[in-house]
Amino acid sequence: MSQPTIESILQEKRLFHPPAEFSQNAHITSRDQYQQLYDKAQADPEAFWAELAAQELHWFDQWDKVLDWQPPFAKWFVGGKTNISYNCLDRHLTTWRKNKAALIWEGEPGDSRTLTYAQLHREVCQFANALKQLGVEKGDKVGIYMPMIPEAAIAMLACARIGAPHTVVFGGFSAEALKDRLVDAEAKVVVTADGGWRKEAIVPLKEQVDKAIANNAAPSVQNVLVVKRTGQEIEMQAGRDHWWHEMQADVSANCPAEPMDSEDMLFILYTSGTTGKPKGVVHTTGGYNLYTHMTLKWAFDLKDTDVYWCTADVGWITGHSYIVYGPLSNGATTVMYEGAPRASNPGCFWDVIEKYGVTIFYTAPTAIRAFMKMGDEHPNARDLSSLRLLGTVGEPINPRAWIWYQQIIGGDRCPIIDTWWQTETGGFMITPLPGAIPTKPGSATLPFPGIQADIVDAEGNPVEGNNGGYLVVRHPWPGMMRTVYGDPDRFRRTYWEHIPPKDGQYIYFAGDGAHRDEDGYFWVMGRVDDVINVSGHRLGTMEIESALVSHPAVAEAAVVGKPDELKGEEVVAFVTLEGNQQATEELNKTLKQHVVNEIGAIARPGEIRFTDALPKTRSGKIMRRLLRNLASGQEVAGDTSTLEDRSVLEKLRGGS
Ligand code: PRX
C-alpha cells in the first residue's frame, strides 16, 4: 500500500472508460470535445478565458484588458469590477435557487444545520456589518481560526463582501504558528470560536488566540470575534473580545457587496516551502473566482441536482476553492463536515453520504487508505447508491487505494478524478474531465483546458518519452497566485526562476516531479524539494528543524520524510544534542511535543533519532539524501564521496 514507485506506475496499464450514460449527460462529453476546448484555449488563452468570464460571472464593470503579463506578475480582467460574495450569493437569489440548500453542515457531535442561499446571504450580510462595526474597512486583513462550522464560510464570504482579505489559519495549528501568520498578514481582527471538536475532544481555539496575541505579540490585532461552539467557560477580554451571536443580533442584514477590482486581494493563505517561514500565497478576486468556478463545473461535472461534498478543512486551499467559493459560485449544494476519519467511528464518512444523498464526493488518498484499513463492512453496510462521481487530491494515490475507492465506494459506476493542483495554482491543473477522459489508477491524466503543463529538465528543456522531470506550466492562468505577501522577490525566485527563463519566457516551477506516458497522461510522483507530504498536509522540513533547534536541548536537527503506508510520508528527525544533554526517552517525548507546540499536531515527528553528528559535506551541507535512505531502512544509495566524516554514516547505520 506504499506510494507508487516509478516501476509500479509504468506497469499500471488499466484503463477505465467513463460509463456511456455519464458521458452523454456530462458538460464535456468526449475526448474530442476536450481536445477542441484544449486547442481553442491553447491558440488564444485570453479569448478563451474572457468568453467564460463573461458567460459565467457577474461583473459590475467590464474589464479593459483580459491579461496583463509582466513576467512573473499577472493581472487578469484588468479594470473589471466584480465581487465573489455577490457571485456566490446575491445572483442566485433572483433565481429558483433562492431557497435551495447552499450549505449542509454536519457537526461532530451529530448536530446539523442547513442554510439556503437566502439564509446564507442574510448571515453573510449581517456578519459583514459586524466587521464594519468593528472598524474593518476595505483592504484590512481578517484572520479566521475556526472549526469546521458554517460560521467559517460565513466569515470568509463576509470578508470578501466588504473587500477585507481573509487569512484562514487551520484550526490544528498551534498558537505560535497562528501568531506568525497574524503578524505577517497584519490582521486587524481575528474570528474564532470558544472551541472546536476534534475526534471527541475539544480544541481550545480561543485560548490559543489569547496565547498568540498576548503581550502585544501580534500588535495589528484589535478585536477578536468568538463563536460559541463548544460552550465551556472562556475568558473574554472586555473591549477586545466580542461574541459573534451578540454582534449578529445587533446589526442590519442589509449590506450590498462592494464592487471590487478584479485584481484586489481576496485572501492570503500560508503554505510551507523549502526555506524559511511559511509563505503567504496571495490570490485575487476575478481570476480566482472564474478559475475555481470553471474547474469545479467541468471537472466535477456539476449539475444543479448534485449534493457535493469535499471533506477538506477550510484552513487549506481545497476548502477555500472547493468547499466555499467554487461550489457557491456555481449555485451548488455544498456539504461541510466537522468530523474526521477515525477508528472509533469507522462509518462516519459513509453515514454522511447516506444521510444527505451525496452525489459527488471529494477526499484525500490518506483518508481512503485509512477507511480501506478499517474494512469493507462499513461502507458496505451503507447505501452509497446516490454517488455518481468521486475525486481525490493532496498526494499521489497508489493504484490499490484507487481501485478500492472505485469498487467499494463507487460501486464500479463512478468515474474517479485525480486532481493535481496546489495552494499556489488556486484550482485544478491536471485532472480528468470525467465524461471525456478515460482514467488510469494513479494518473491525474491531462491538463485542464487553458493549462499548458509540461515536463522539463533542470535547464527547462522538454523531456521527451516516459522520462521523469520537473512539472511546469508555461502560460499564466486566471487562478494562479499573484505574489508572496510582502515578498515579491521570493515569488519570483521560488516559482519562476528556479528553471532559468529563456528568451523572456518564464515557466512556473511547481516543485513536483512527474512522468508522461505514451497517451500524454501525467503521473505526478511527489515533491522534488525539501517539502514533505504527511496525510496530504504540506510541511517544510526547515520549519520542523527550526522548531526543534528552538528547544534548548537541541544543537542541530535534520528532518526528512519516510514512506508510510497510511500517511504517505512520516516525519523523521535526526537530532544532535547540546553537550550536557542525555538522549533519553523522556527528552524524545518532550521534543515531539515541542514541535506540536511550535507548529501543530500535523508536524509531530513520528520518530526522533538522536545522533552524535549529522552527515555533512565538506562545505557543511547536511546530506539529506543519506538520511532519507537511513530513515526508510534502505541501503545508502549513490555517491557518498563528498561526506566529510565517513564514520558518522557508520554510526547512524548502527542506529545510535
Ligand atoms: O506534491 C503535490 C501534492 O500536493 C502539493 C500541493 O500541496 P498543497 O498546496 O497543500 O495543496 C494540496 C491540495 C491541492 C503538490 O505540489 N498533490 C496535490 N494533489 C496531488 C498531489 N500529488 C499527486 N497527485 C495529486 N492529485
Question: How confident is the model at residue 623, as a pLDDT?
Answer: 86
In the predicted model, is pLDDT for residue 5 greater than 70? no
| Cα–Cα distance for residue pair 456/450, rounded to 1 Å | 19
For residue 196, report the distance from its CA to the centre of ligand 1, in Å.
Answer: 26
pLDDT surpasses 50 at 603: yes
Q: Residue 243: is its pLDDT beyond 80? A: yes
Mean pLDDT, to the nearest integer, of 612-620? Answer: 88
User: Would you state the pLDDT for residue 233?
Assistant: 97
Asked whether the CA dihedral 19, 24, 29, 31 is positive or negative, the reply is positive
- pLDDT mean over 526-554: 94
Regarding the beta carbon of 481 and ligand 1, being less than 6 Å apart is answered no
| Percent of the chain whose predicted confidence (pLDDT) is above 90 | 87
Q: How high is the pLDDT of residue 4? A: 54
- pLDDT tier for residue 277 given thresholds of 50, 70 and 90: confident
Map 325-381 to HEC letters: HHHHHCCCEEEEECCCCCCCCCCHHHHHHHHHCCCEEEECHHHHHHHHHHCCHHHHC
pLDDT beyond 80 at 440: yes
551, pLDDT greater than 50: yes
Residue nearest to atom 23 of ligand 1 (CA): 396
Q: What is the mean pLDDT of residues 156-182?
A: 98
Query: What pLDDT score does 654 carry?
Result: 64
Alpha helices in 574-645 (DSSP H): 585-598, 624-631
Minimum-distance ligand 1 atom for the alpha carbon of 511 = 16
pLDDT at 196 over 80: yes
In ligand 1, the atom with minimum distance to the C-alpha of 418 is 26
What residue owns the CA closest to ligand 1's atom 25?
420
SS3 call for 82: strand
> Which is nearest to 166 in space by CA: 62, 47, 281, 273?
281
CA angle in degrees (0–180, nearest 5) for 294-419-308: 60
Omega within 30 of 0 (cis) for the link into 72: yes
- pLDDT of 338 above 80: yes
Mean pLDDT to the nearest integer, 173-190: 97
* In the predicted structure, residue 10 carries a pLDDT above the cut 70: no
Residue type, 642: T
**What pLDDT does 202 receive?**
94
* Cα 472 from Cα 447, distance rounded (Å): 11
Which ligand 1 atom sits closest to the C-alpha of 525? Answer: 23
Using the mean position of ligand 1's atoms as its centre, give its distance from the Cα of residue 656 in Å: 35
Reported for 51-59, long-range contacts at CB under 8 A and 24+ positions apart, including other chains, are 52/290, 52/294, 53/77, 53/80, 53/286, 53/290, 53/478, 56/290, 56/293, 56/294, 56/297, 57/82, 57/87, 57/286, 57/289, 57/290, 57/293, 57/329, 58/82, 58/86, 58/87, 58/90, 58/91, 59/286
Whole-model pTM?
0.96
The mean pLDDT of 117-125, rounded to a whole number, is: 98
Tell me which residue has its CA closest to atom 4 in ligand 1.
394
Q: Kindly state if the Cβ of 318 falls inside 6 Å of ligand 1.
A: yes
CA 603–ligand 1 middle distance (angstroms) = 17
Given a cut of 80, whether residue 188 has pLDDT beyond it is yes
CA-proximal residue: ligand 1, atom 14 (nearest): 422
Question: What is the average pLDDT across 23-44?
Answer: 98
Q: How far apart are CA 583 and CA 32, in angstroms?
A: 63
Over residues 53-60, mean pLDDT? 98
| Closest-lying ligand 1 atom to the alpha carbon of residue 524 | 23
* Dist. CA 524 → ligand 1 center (Å): 9
Alpha carbons 13 and 540: distance in angstroms, whole number = 34
535 or 647, greater pLDDT = 535
Q: Which DSSP helix (H) or strand (E) runs through 563?
A: strand 554-564
Q: What's the mean pLDDT in 74-99? A: 98
Residues 6+ positions from 590 with CB-CB distance below 8 Å: 551, 553
Band (1; pLDDT cuts 50, 70, 90):
very low
Distance between Cα 424 and ligand 1 center (Å):
10
**Is ligand 1 within 6 A of the CB of residue 445?**
no
315 lines ligand 1 (CB under 6 A): no
pLDDT for residue 366 is more than 70: yes
Residue 3: is its pLDDT beyond 70? no
pLDDT per residue over 369-423, tens digit each?
A: 999 999 999 999 999 999 999 999 999 999 999 999 999 999 999 999 999 999 9
Confidence of residue 9 (pLDDT cuts 50, 70, 90): low
Distance 270 CA to ligand 1 centre (A): 15
Residue 395 alpha carbon to ligand 1 centre in Å: 5
- The per-residue pLDDT for 2 is 44
Strand partners, 484: 281
Cell 469546521: give the residue.
148
Q: Angle 585-598/175-185 helices, nearest 10 degrees?
A: 30
The pLDDT value recorded for residue 633 is 84
Per-residue pLDDT band for 6 (boundaries 50, 70, 90) equals low
471 lines ligand 1 (CB under 6 A): no
Residue nearest to atom 18 of ligand 1 (CA): 394
| CA 512 – ligand 1 centroid, Å | 9
- Asked if pLDDT for residue 656 goes beyond 60, the answer is no
Average model confidence (pLDDT) across the chain: 95
Is pLDDT of 170 > 60? yes
Residues linked to residue 168 through DSSP beta bridges, in sequence order: 144
* Whole-number Å distance between alpha carbons of 389 and 386: 10
- By the 10 Å C-beta count (0-12 exposed, 13-18 middle, 19+ buried), 94 is classed as exposed
